[in-house]
């Protein structure tokens, strides 16, 4: 009997798990609901832009498809982060994760399979949404910039940290409910920093609270700058903007930041899965 090497066996198992996860996503409803929301949101943004141009009479639209595609990629990123948050915690609750580890499965093959499946679902999301936006560009007679499409091709590197963060939360959480709670806290903190900093920026210097809030504003500013290289949504925005401006250096830096960040979070997820185990 021919002996299969451990690496080949791990690869075979990972591909089988990834195939099952992709199949579940394709035959589920959540992916298509997210696609519908992304297309609807992008269409509304495009409609508002063209209507504003028509009412102003300027006949100039600056980057008309940047916001619609940013909304689409951001929704895909949040969707996959939420999916990854339940990818380990839910099977652990159901007891199927314990059964799965009776097979030749280890944390490396499981996390690799889940990451591969998530990126494949992301590619499927873009495969569905981009032709819709291309059709919209023909209908409204506005060009879809090729540079923006380049940014979309690189965007999986920006979304990868969100998937890895979700897998880490899923591995460290005790239950699926706890995983979603931690995920919600992370999302609220990331959004809260952005909103809080913008709100404090609007405080006029003549206000009696301006000096009192100066320290808090500086703290939020530092947190906002840190989130530029940690938050997947900030990476998506910065990456698409750099691609549209043809700033290849900034695009490469953002892509490398996404790849490096996802690698770090995957290592942490592997450590958490080994330490937390497969039991509820």
Q: What is the pLDDT along the chain (280 residues), one digit of tens a residue?
A: 456 666 777 788 788 888 899 999 889 889 999 999 999 988 888 888 777 666 665 556 667 788 888 889 989 999 999 999 999 988 888 888 887 777 677 888 889 999 999 999 999 999 999 999 989 888 877 788 888 889 999 999 999 999 999 999 999 987 888 888 888 888 887 777 766 666 666 655 655 555 566 667 777 777 777 776 667 888 888 889 899 888 999 999 989 989 999 999 999 999 999 888 777 7
pLDDT of residue 1: 46
Q: Which two tokens stand for residue 30?
A: 């959540």
Q: What is the pTM of this model?
A: 0.87
pLDDT of residue 174: 75
Closest by CA to 136, choosing from 74, 71, 64, is: 64
Distance CA 257, CA 265 (A): 12
If you count DSSP H runs as helices and E runs as strands, how many of each does the chain have, helices first?
A: 11, 0
pLDDT of residue 115: 94
Place of tokens 């959480």: 173
Residue 21, phi then psi, degrees to nearest 5: -65, -40
The secondary element (H helix, E strand) that includes residue 149 is: helix 146-172
Distance CA 112, CA 11 (A): 9
pLDDT of residue 55: 62
């Amino acid at each position: 009997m021919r002996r299969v090497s451990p690496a080949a066996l791990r690869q075979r198992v990972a591909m089988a798990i990834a195939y099952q996860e992709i199949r579940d996503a394709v035959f589920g409803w959540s992916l298509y609901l997210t696609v519908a929301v992304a297309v609807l949101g992008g269409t509304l943004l495009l409609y508002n832009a063209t209507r504003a141009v028509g009412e102003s009479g300027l006949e100039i639209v600056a980057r008309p498809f940047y916001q619609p595609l940013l909304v689409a990629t951001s929704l895909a990123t949040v969707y996959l982060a939420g999916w990854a948050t339940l990818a380990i915690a839910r099977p652990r609750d159901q007891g199927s994760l314990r059964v799965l580890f009776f097979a030749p499965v280890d944390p490396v093959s499981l996390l690799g399979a889940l990451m591969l499946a998530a990126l494949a679902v992301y590619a499927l999301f873009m495969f569905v949404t981009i032709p819709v936006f291309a059709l919209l560009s023909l209908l409204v007679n506005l060009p879809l910039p090729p540079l923006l499409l380049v940014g979309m091709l690189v965007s999986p590197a920006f979304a990868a940290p969100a998937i890895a963060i979700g897998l880490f939360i899923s591995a460290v959480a005790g239950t699926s409910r706890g995983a979603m709670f931690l995920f919600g806290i992370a999302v609220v903190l990331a959004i809260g920093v952005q909103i809080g900093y913008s709100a404090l920026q609007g405080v006029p210097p003549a206000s009696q609270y301006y000096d009192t809030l100066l320290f808090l504003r500086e703290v939020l500013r530092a947190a906002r700058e840190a989130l530029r290289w940690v938050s997947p949504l900030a990476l998506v925005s910065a990456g698409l903007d750099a691609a549209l401006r043809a700033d290849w250096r900034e695009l490469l830096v953002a892509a490398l930041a996404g790849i490096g960040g996802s690698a770090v979070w995957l290592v942490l997820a592997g450590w958490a899965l080994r330490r937390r185990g497969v039991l509820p």
